[in-house]
Amino acid sequence: MPDILIQAKGLKKQYDSRNVVNGVSITVHEKEILAIIGPNGAGKSTTIEMMLGIRKQDEGEVGYWVHDYRKSIGAQLQATPFFPGLTAIENLNLFAAFYKRKLPKQKAVELLTLCGLSEVVKTEASKLSGGQQKRLAIAVALVHDPKVVFLDEPTSALDPKSRREIHQLILDLNRKGTTVVFTSHDMDEVTKLSYRVIMIDQGMVIAEGTVKALCQKHGVQNLEELYLQLTMGEN
């Protein structure tokens, strides 16, 4: 088993007396692609934000493989964070500066090209399409060559071509040794990309394992059937 990079134990979070995350434990292993799936409002994003340390949990703890983990983790959150008034490449340079890195122009262009933004390098970020902004957010997440990257619904609202490009990007990153944790509602995408799946519903982990093992265990043909069985069965 590869080394453990992140270990979240018993995470709990309440909003307005509502348990959004209710005792979630997740382990992220080195060089894996881990998919976190579940219905809308299941607590996936909140769990990720707590694992990233940008939202404080009410209970539980998160352990990292290094003390200053922030230098080695990248994240694309559901919001598309960029600075209005700056171009795509200027945004990238600014975020590199936050990591105390100077991004050579060639590397910045390469990164934007990798994310399918080669034609909009000098376009103001606020004028990019929704899909392009999402890809810029992914480029921002990769600006410091992180060891682990979290992608929160990286392909939602993207056209099939862009989606395929992001899939390839995730696979390429992983091939180079980057650990990827992503959330998605697309079960085909999860089946295609992930080594391991964690299914969350109502703030709790309801299934965990490889797609094949989970399907065998529950006697279903594919991940979508399993998802419907487990999430609808509870309602």
Partner 1 sequence: MMTILKTMIVTSLRDKITLFYSIIFPIGLLIGLGYYFNNDAYTPKLLTGVIALSSLFWGVSGIAFQVHGQRSRGVYQLLKLTPFPVIGFIFLMTAARTILGIVINLVVLFTGTLFFNVAINLGQVLALLGMMFIGILCFTCLGFLISNFAHNEGQISIISNLLFMPMIFGTDTFYSLHSAPGWVVKMGELFPLGYYVHGLRSALGTSNMSFTGSVMILVIFTFVLLLLSAVTFNQEGKGQIRLKKVMRNPDHVA
Residues forming contacts to partner 1 in the complex (CB under 8 A) are: 16, 49, 52-54, 68, 70-71, 73-75, 77, 79-86, 90, 93-100, 102, 140
* Nearest distance in Å: CB 67, partner 1: 12
* Nearest distance in Å: CB 221, partner 1: 38
Q: Considering only CA atoms, which of 227, 54, 68 is closest in space to residue 150?
A: 54
* Nearest distance in Å: CB 91, partner 1: 9
How far apart are the C-alpha atoms of 189 and 89, rounded to whole Å?
A: 29
Q: Categorise residue 142: left if φ over 0, alpha if ψ from -120 to 50, beta otherwise.
A: alpha
Q: Helix (H, G, I), strand (E, B), or coil: what is residue 45?
A: helix
Q: Which residues pair with 36 in a beta bridge?
A: 183, 198
* Nearest distance in Å: CB 233, partner 1: 34
| Nearest to partner 1 of 43, 146 (CB atom) | 146
Q: Categorise residue 100: left if φ over 0, alpha if ψ from -120 to 50, beta otherwise.
A: left
| Nearest to partner 1 of 92, 200 (CB atom) | 92
In the block, residue with structure tokens 């270990």 = 7
Contact predicate 80/33, CB 8 Å: no
How far apart are the C-alpha atoms of 8 and 109, rounded to whole Å?
A: 35
| Nearest to partner 1 of 33, 48 (CB atom) | 48
* Nearest distance in Å: CB 82, partner 1: 6
| Nearest to partner 1 of 71, 218 (CB atom) | 71
* Nearest distance in Å: CB 201, partner 1: 25
Question: With 0-12 CB in 10 A as exposed, 13-18 as middle and 19+ as buried, what is 38?
Answer: buried
| Nearest to partner 1 of 149, 214 (CB atom) | 149
| Nearest to partner 1 of 117, 226 (CB atom) | 117
Contact predicate 50/101, CB 8 Å: no
